[in-house]
Structure 1
Amino acid sequence: MSAVAFDRVLAPLDRSEESLEAAEYAVAVAEQYGADVHALYLLEESVVRSLESGELEGDTVADDTEDLMETVDRLAADHDVSISHSMALGFVTTQLTHHPGSVILDTAEAVDADFLVVPREPISGNPDEVLGKAAEYVLQYASQPVLSV
């Protein structure tokens, strides 16, 4: 009987507290198994629409993303876990099949993640927090083990 092994843990993030808590779990799993973490920052629908309409500048989004990733980088560094990042649109207004759940699973395949940590739907019910909406989809369709926290 062989031991379970994971090389890369995917941690999708939005601006919610729940996603940061899920990132803490992802780092703990990675530390336990000697894996690295890939943090995926998903832009929510309101941000995508604001970018498309010109109401929001790309530099503002980049600054917000950088702040979030620095927080996750510090968390990983505190546990001596290697981390990489990417950013993706959680929604594309012209393509119905492009939604947070599909983006998470596509990214998991692209970065060769073999474990996923996703937050459950946020208690706040804030519509800008996209990951809770994706958790059920990811749990149903992921080929990798998934921890929903």
Structure 2
Amino acid sequence: MYRTILVPTDGSDASAAAVDHAVDLADRYDARIHALYVVDSGSYGVLGESTPTVVEALHEEGSRAVSAVAEAAADAGVEADTAVVEGAVHRSILDYAEEAEADLIVMGTHGRQGIDRYLLGSVTERIVRSSPLPVLTVRSADDSYGLS
């Protein structure tokens, strides 16, 4: 059913929950995981001269995040590819999914919070609305939405 599963990650708890689901599915279907971190460098252009430093730090953070996914996959005997790219987050995820010929995108319902969440809307929501392939959204364990 699934051969290639894309897991966009930002290193958050919601991403970690999505990784667990993606690795389980990949193991079950003998699929390959693609871990992707997108550096939204356009959002940091207002920082002037410090922008390259911030972008470099984000690339390092991205490398750590995708490495954690690859490690989780390896622990389960699942093959994984990793990538850190720059661009508009939702567009980069969709473009990567197409390039990797992904069959499924697995992502957390909420990543890191911040002004982008309120100005641009949820990245996950944008992916769900515009993806031509199935998207599995996963809540983190501590994301109860006020439910008891």
Alignment match, 1:70:
67
Compute the displacement of 1:68 (Å). Answer: 1.8
Letter in 1 for 2:57: T
Percent same amino acid at aligned positions? 27
Question: Are residues 1:137 and 2:133 paired?
Answer: no
- Once the two structures are overlaid, the 10-residue window that deviates more, 37-46 or 6-15, is 37-46
Match of 2:113 among 113, 125, 133: 125
User: Aligned with 2:65: secondary structure?
Assistant: helix
Long gaps (5+) in structure 1: 92-99
Letter in 2 for 1:15: G
Report the RMSD for the aligned CA atoms in angstroms: 2.7
Letter in 2 for 1:108: A
Contact 1:44 1:128 (8 Å CA) reproduced:
no
Distance 1:42 1:72, change over 3 A: same
Q: Report the Cα distance in structure 2 between the residues aligned to 1:54 and 1:24, rounded to whole angstroms.
A: 39
Contact 2:6 2:104 (8 Å CA) reproduced:
yes
Q: Report the Cα distance in structure 1 between the residues aligned to 2:122 and 2:101, rounded to whole angstroms.
A: 23
Question: Are residues 1:19 and 2:15 paired?
Answer: yes
Alignment match, 1:94:
none
Compute the displacement of 1:15 (Å). Answer: 3.2
Q: Report the Cα distance in structure 2 between the residues aligned to 1:24 and 1:44, rounded to whole angstroms.
A: 25
Matches within 5 A, 1:1-149: 5-44=1-40, 49=44, 53-55=48-50, 56-57=52-53, 59-91=56-88, 100-122=89-111, 125-127=113-115, 133-149=122-138
User: Aligned with 2:90: secondary structure?
Assistant: helix
Q: Report the Cα distance in structure 2 between the residues aligned to 1:65 and 1:136, rounded to whole angstroms.
A: 21
Contact 2:5 2:104 (8 Å CA) reproduced:
yes
Q: TM-score, normalised by structure 1?
A: 0.76
Aligned length: 134
Q: TM-score, normalised by structure 2?
A: 0.76
Q: Report the Cα distance in structure 1 between the residues aligned to 2:6 and 2:135, rounded to whole angstroms.
A: 9
